């Protein structure tokens, strides 16, 4: 009997030991689960934040063209592109913990030294710390074991990206083709920097020294032209472009870039973001018909007329300082009689006003244009400034030649695949 009692006592002690061991094991497993879940969340937030920084750096680098407004434009573009991303488990407002601000965007010169000189800035760096990312299980573990310092309720997550401009192997031009002047050769194909060149509306009518509509995918579809104005990438030297007829609907996508909209369009949408300015240039308000990009206002110019760089720095609308499409002191009036904006009702807001050129502006009027030969094959790329919106009914418009797009000082930045030896410039991540 004493032996039986002893065995029963030992079994009870063993059962008690198993309960303690199981509880410790569960606590141990809970800790690993906390590490897996909470550090998994940190990894997701880090990935989302890195994507936002990459977008910010690429957009900011695209504006580093050496002009006096470059750094302001770069900050604006970087914030717009970066903050469009969702961070902290796809939160649109980043869980209310703060998004990218001006101080998060800095610039480096060619020696990778921080600079505030617009002419020296070669690299754009976006760096942001996302605070207070909640740690659910680890915080609970800390409350349970009393070690809150070793198991904080929140963590900070940081990410950095650096981008610059480099030559591309593919490009994202607008769907037109520039035909060299007779006898014109690389790099400028007979054109002078600052010269205004006509975009012929009639299908296939463009001659040497003019621009014609040209589908980048090689098709003749009029609907494709409008789609390509909203973004088409992959064009390479040697591609054969199509010769489409053009529908009036192409004016919608073209005029978005000037901040001109029908009621259904929205400046905040990526495809309809305006340029930093919508100010238009015609023979009426810029009678010299040359050097609207950076030249002095010519004699007999409109009283408020200034070059594109100046208007862009002021985030001026097509109506200069207003939002009227038609009537006195309107978008139409500053370029009349050349512009008729039937069916368009609203403009992006000028200056610092929300919802306008500063908040949603991107580099959308300085465009890369394919240079084509007689067989409609791409032989090179030009950099050009879109001068005028498209009228309804559609008429010819003009663009200003700004040189070869591959030149280091070119104001053009496309969005194609980097890695070319001498193609148009594209923003590329370097860190």
Tokens 């695949």 correspond to: 417
124 pLDDT more than 60: yes
322 in a domain, yes or no?
Answer: no
DSSP labels, 91-123: BTTGGGT----GGGEEEE-TTS-B---TTT--E
Residue 425's pLDDT band (boundaries 50, 70, 90)? confident
What mean pLDDT is predicted for residues 25-54?
77
Asked whether residue 310 carries a pLDDT value surpassing 60, the answer given is: yes
Give 283-299 pLDDT, tens digit per residue.
999 999 999 999 999 98
Within a domain: 314: no
Across the range 54-70, mean pLDDT stands at: 91
Residue 129 within a domain: yes
Structural domain includes residue 270: no
Q: Would residue 214 count as lying in a domain? A: no
Confidence of residue 10 (pLDDT cuts 50, 70, 90): very low
How many Å is the Cα radius of gyration of the chain?
Answer: 29
Query: 293 phi and psi, to 5 degrees?
Result: -65, -50
Beta-ladder partners of 196:
400
* Token representation of residue 259: 């901040």
Q: Taking the CB of residue 304, how many other CB atoms lie within 10 A of it?
A: 14
Q: What whole-number distance in Å separates Cα of residue 276 and Cα of residue 262?
A: 19
Task: Read off the pLDDT of each residue in 61-74 and give the average, rounded to a whole number.
Answer: 89
This prediction's pTM: 0.76
Q: Given this model, what pLDDT does residue 394 score? A: 87
- What is the DSSP pairing of strand 211-213 with strand 196-200? parallel
Give the residue with greater pLDDT, 308 vs 206. Answer: 308
Percent of the chain with pLDDT over 70: 87
- Asked whether residue 55 is assigned to any structural domain, the reply reads yes
- pLDDT above 80 for 59: yes
Range of the domain at 19: 2-167
Of the ranges 12-21, 103-112, 331-340, which one carries the lowest mean pLDDT score? 12-21
C-alpha to C-alpha distance for 217 and 359, rounded to whole angstroms: 32
Does a structural domain hold residue 419? Answer: no
User: Quick check: is 191 in a domain?
Assistant: no
Determine the pLDDT at residue 308: 96
pLDDT over 90 at 22, yes or no: no
The pLDDT confidence band at residue 21, using thresholds 50, 70 and 90, is: low
Is 338:299 a contact under the CB 8 Å cutoff?
A: no
Q: Count the domains in the chain.
A: 1
- Average pLDDT of the chain is 87
Name the band, by pLDDT with cuts 50, 70 and 90, for residue 5.
Answer: low
Backbone angles phi, psi at 12, to 5 degrees: -65, -40
Residue 302 to residues 220, 306, 331, 334, 402, Cα–Cα distance (Å): 40, 9, 13, 8, 23
Q: What is the pLDDT of residues 161-212, one digit of tens each?
A: 999 998 888 889 999 999 999 999 999 999 999 999 999 988 678 899 999 9
342 or 52: which leads in pLDDT: 52
């Amino acid at each position: 009997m004493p032996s039986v009692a002893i065995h029963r006592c030992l079994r009870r002690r063993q059962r008690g030991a198993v309960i303690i061991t199981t509880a410790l094991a569960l606590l141990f497993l809970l800790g690993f689960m906390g590490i897996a879940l909470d550090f998994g969340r940190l990894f997701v937030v880090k990935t989302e934040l890195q994507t936002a920084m990459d977008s910010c750096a690429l957009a900011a680098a695209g504006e580093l063209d050496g002009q006096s407004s470059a750094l302001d434009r770069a900050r604006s573009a970087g914030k717009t592109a970066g903050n469009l991303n969702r961070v902290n488990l796809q939160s649109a407002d980043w869980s209310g913990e703060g998004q990218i601000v001006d101080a998060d965007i800095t610039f480096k010169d060619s020696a990778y030294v921080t600079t505030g000189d617009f002419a020296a800035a070669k690299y754009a760096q976006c760096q942001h710390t996302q605070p207070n990312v909640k740690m659910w299980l680890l915080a609970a573990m800390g409350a349970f074991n009393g070690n809150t310092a070793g198991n904080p309720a929140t963590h900070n997550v940081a990410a950095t990206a650096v981008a610059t401009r480099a030559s591309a192997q593919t490009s994202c031009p607008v769907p037109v083709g520039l035909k060299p002047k007779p006898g014109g050769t690389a790099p400028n194909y007979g054109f002078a920097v600052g010269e205004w060149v006509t975009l012929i509306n009639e299908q296939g009518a463009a001659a040497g020294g003019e621009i014609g509509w040209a589908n980048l995918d090689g098709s003749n579809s009029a609907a494709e032209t409008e789609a390509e104005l909203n973004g088409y990438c992959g064009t390479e030297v040697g591609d054969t472009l199509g010769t489409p007829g053009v529908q009036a609907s192409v004016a919608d996508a073209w005029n978005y870039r000037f901040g001109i909209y029908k009621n259904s369009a929205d400046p905040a949408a990526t495809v309809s973001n305006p340029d930093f300015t919508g100010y238009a240039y015609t023979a009426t308000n810029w009678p010299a018909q040359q050097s609207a990009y950076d030249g002095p206002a010519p004699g007999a110019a409109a009283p408020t007329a200034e070059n594109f760089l100046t208007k862009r720095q002021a985030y001026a609308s097509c109506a200069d300082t207003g939002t009227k499409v038609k009537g006195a002191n309107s978008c139409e009036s500053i370029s009349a009689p050349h512009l008729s904006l039937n069916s368009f009702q609203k403009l992006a807001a000028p200056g610092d006003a929300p919802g306008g050129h500063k908040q949603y502006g991107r580099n959308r009027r300085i465009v890369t244009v394919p240079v084509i030969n007689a067989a409609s094959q791409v032989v090179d790329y030009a950099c050009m400034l879109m001068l005028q919106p498209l009228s309804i009914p559609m008429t010819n418009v003009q663009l200003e030649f700004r040189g070869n797009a591959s030149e280091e000082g070119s104001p053009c930045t496309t969005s194609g695949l980097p890695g070319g030896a001498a193609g148009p410039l594209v923003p590329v991540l370097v860190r």
